[in-house]
Chains A and B, each alone.
Chain A
Amino acid sequence: SAVISQKPSRDICQRGTSLTIQCQVDSQVTMMFWYRQQPGQSLTLIATANQGSEATYESGFVIDKFPISRPNLTFSTLTVSNLSPEDSSIYLCSVVVSPNTEAFFGQGTRLTVV
């Protein structure tokens, strides 16, 4: 299993600013992912955070808007840049300890852009 600490749990940000979300895992994991979830909606994969190299982004998500870092096997950050009200959502970090096994989730970050 894996225990994930995701910070902050919530934030209210002004449009045009950026928010960086941190994801810390208590053990080394194979894969780390970032998802976005609108309230009452499904989980949309933003990108796979790759250790030591650029993240792999899904269609519709770009590095300039969602820069991701993963300096080691236990930590990743997602930045949501140049915020607009449309970015208001819940962002979730997810990890997989070994390929094709259970994904564990952070508690989520509820972002509101005003």
Chain B
Amino acid sequence: GENVEQHPSTLSVQEGDSAVIKCTYSDSASNYFPWYKQELGKRPQLIIDIRSNVGEKKDQRIAVTLNKTAKHFSLHITETQPEDSAVYFCAANNNDMRFGAGTRLTVKP
């Protein structure tokens, strides 16, 4: 089955800096790659996603890149703000969704 690895497990940045989270997946048939943000005590919420026929997607301060050949994808957050502090999960989907271990992002004011 699909195996998703995510790095780093924790990330601390200064407000205004960029944050990058990286994931790899094992199943070449996976074709949908969402990123979720989970704030303490809340449910995961989708922040951005990318499909296998696209290499990059951007939504304001958030961007995701996908390298299908290498089977890795990354989340980029620019101009980070304290409210970006949360746990972020990547996922790879081929009929069911498998999540990475999560990255706890802390943005220091």
Contact = CB atoms under 8 A, between A and B. Distances in A.
B43 A42 contact: no
Contact of A102 (B46, B87, B94, B101): B46
Interface in A73-114: 92, 94, 96, 99-103, 105-108
Given A43-B89, A100-B32, A108 B43 contact: yes
A31 B94 CA distance: 12
Contacts of B51: 100
Contacts of B49: 102
Contact of B96 (A33, A42, A106, A107): A33
Contact of B44 (A40, A45, A99, A105): A105
For the complex, would chain B's binding face be called helix, strand, loop or mixed by DSSP majority? strand
A41 interface: yes
Given A41-B102, A42-B89, A102-B46, A94 B95 contact: no
Contacts of A59: 1
A100 B89 contact: no
A102 B89 contact: no
Contacts of A42: 89, 99-102
A33 B43 CA distance: 14
Contacts of A94: 97
Contact of A100 (B1, B31, B42, B44): B31
Nearest to B4: A42
Given A102-B34, A103-B34, A105-B44, A45 B97 contact: yes
B44 A43 contact: yes
Q: Which of B1, B91, B96, B100 has the most CB of A within 10 A?
A: B96
Interface string B74-95: 0000000000000101010111
Contacts of B100: 42
Interface in A8-52: 31, 33, 40-43, 45, 48
Interface of B: 1, 31-32, 34, 42-46, 49, 51, 87, 89, 91, 93-102, 104
